[in-house]
């Protein structure tokens, strides 16, 4: 694909028409987002959300397919005589968190909320679709709108939707994540790895239980587990190239119930975050050997289970350059920055394994610092103008293609 570095006057005018439509649609975008925020649905349990997205596209008069990969929705804007097909993806699932915000659009579903901005992603993509459809005689390429379910819970919805053909005929794909802790009004890009691979592990340590007063007659799994946790720190500090990013974190240890009883078993769980596949493999191998070896040295045993999660997300160079150029065209260089890679996972990685693409961030930090909370927090919220910035960036990307 060729980056259109010198858009013609007609292309600029066409983009400006779409941007103007998006400005007009902003109140509708906010209303849509707040509706989804009030009515969240958990990963792989989404029923009403995809129905409403499908109905939106049907009423718009656009080709739409529902049930893609299970619960996904894919709409297409197909234009005569166009050579390229560009796809954009938004996710729409929520999280099992009680909404603690004091806002009119607070979640109405106990224990479930949109705590990661997926409601905003969905609303931005729907507004983009409407803007491009209204101005379709000016749009230079076919556009596919992918609304994905289940991103928050592995195996996610991306792989299933890809298997069901959501990328058929697609030349490039783009996605954007709203970021509540990044400055609003700023757009972020990165070539190469931008989000980490995510694996989880559990280690079950088996010892010999007994009375807390006679520890010498036992094999204490809590002591063994403590030594294993300490030894895990060497995976990053002594087994991995210092220039390679890796995180190995133990998130929980559960053992025993009484203060005077040494239990028989202890179970720890944790996460591994990495980018390079060789580092990912090394971490899993070393974690297993360390747990089993330390346990054996202390007359215990350890059973290790590692569950592979999302792959690391790689942004292709050409598509990232296109995204960057699109951002600069809309916001100016002073509002476009390169982001360092981040450790959360994202199943957008599977799209860019199939077709060239790039995943970007939209700064969405609220003005009042006391209202700023990270993703997956019970009081998470974001500056809704970031949705408009996302949609404008996507529109500009469309017009980067000849």
Residues with catalytic function? 93, 151
Q: Are 95 and 118 in contact (CB under 8 A)?
A: no
Cα separation, 313 vs 353, whole angstroms: 9
Closest CA to 391 of 197, 211, 176: 176
Q: Are 84 and 171 in contact (CB under 8 A)?
A: yes
Torsion of CA 76, 392, 311, 118, to 10 degrees: -80
C-alpha 369: how far from its chain's center? 24
Cα separation, 60 vs 302, whole angstroms: 58
Torsion of CA 367, 373, 375, 379, to 10 degrees: -110
Instruction: Copy the structure tokens of residue 321.
Output: 């350059």
Tally of CB atoms within 10 A around 283: 25
Q: Are 184 and 337 in contact (CB under 8 A)?
A: no
Tally of CB atoms within 10 A around 236: 18
Kind and range of the H or E element at 92? none
Beta bridge partners of 282: none
* Packing angle of the helix pair 118-134, 48-60 (nearest 10 deg): 10
CA atoms within 13 A on the CB side of 298: 25
């Amino acid at each position: 694909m060729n980056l259109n570095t010198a858009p013609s006057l007609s292309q600029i005018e066409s983009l400006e028409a779409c941007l103007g439509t998006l400005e007009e649609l902003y109140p509708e975008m906010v209303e849509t987002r707040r509706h989804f925020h009030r009515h969240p649905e958990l990963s792989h349990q989404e029923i009403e959300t995809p129905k409403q997205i499908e109905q939106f596209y049907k009423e718009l008069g656009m080709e739409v397919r529902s049930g893609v990969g299970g619960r996904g929705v894919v709409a297409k804007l197909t234009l005569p005589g166009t050579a390229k097909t560009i796809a954009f993806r938004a996710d729409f699932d929520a999280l099992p968190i009680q909404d603690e915000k004091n806002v009119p659009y607070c979640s109405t579903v106990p224990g479930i909320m949109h705590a990661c901005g997926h409601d905003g992603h969905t609303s931005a993509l729907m507004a983009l679709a409407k803007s491009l459809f209204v101005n379709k005689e000016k749009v230079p390429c076919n556009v596919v709108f992918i609304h994905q379910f289940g991103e928050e819970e592995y195996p996610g919805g991306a792989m299933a939707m890809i298997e069901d053909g959501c990328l058929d005929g697609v030349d490039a794909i783009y996605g954007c994540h709203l970021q509540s802790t990044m400055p609003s009004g700023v757009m972020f890009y990165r070539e190469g790895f931008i989000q980490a691979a995510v694996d989880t592990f559990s280690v079950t340590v088996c010892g010999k239980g007994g009375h807390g007063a006679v520890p010498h007659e036992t094999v204490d799994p809590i002591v063994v587990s403590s030594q294993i946790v300490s030894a895990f720190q060497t995976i990053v500090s002594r087994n991995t190239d210092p220039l390679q990013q890796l995180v190995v974190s133990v998130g929980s240890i559960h053992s025993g119930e009484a203060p005077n009883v040494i239990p028989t078993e202890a179970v720890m769980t944790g996460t591994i975050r990495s980018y390079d596949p060789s580092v990912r493999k090394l971490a899993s191998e070393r974690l297993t050997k360390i747990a089993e070896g330390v346990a054996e040295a202390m007359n215990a045993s350890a059973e290790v289970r590692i569950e592979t999660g999302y792959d690391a997300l790689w942004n292709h160079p050409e598509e990232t350059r296109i995204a960057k150029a699109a951002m600069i065209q809309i916001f100016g260089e002073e509002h476009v920055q390169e982001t360092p890679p981040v450790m959360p996972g994202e199943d957008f990685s599977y799209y860019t394994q199939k077709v060239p693409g790039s995943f970007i961030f939209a700064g969405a930090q609220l003005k009042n610092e006391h209202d700023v909370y990270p993703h997956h927090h019970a009081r998470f919220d974001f500056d809704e103008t970031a949705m408009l910035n996302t949609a404008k960036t996507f529109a500009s990307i469309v017009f980067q293609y000849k």
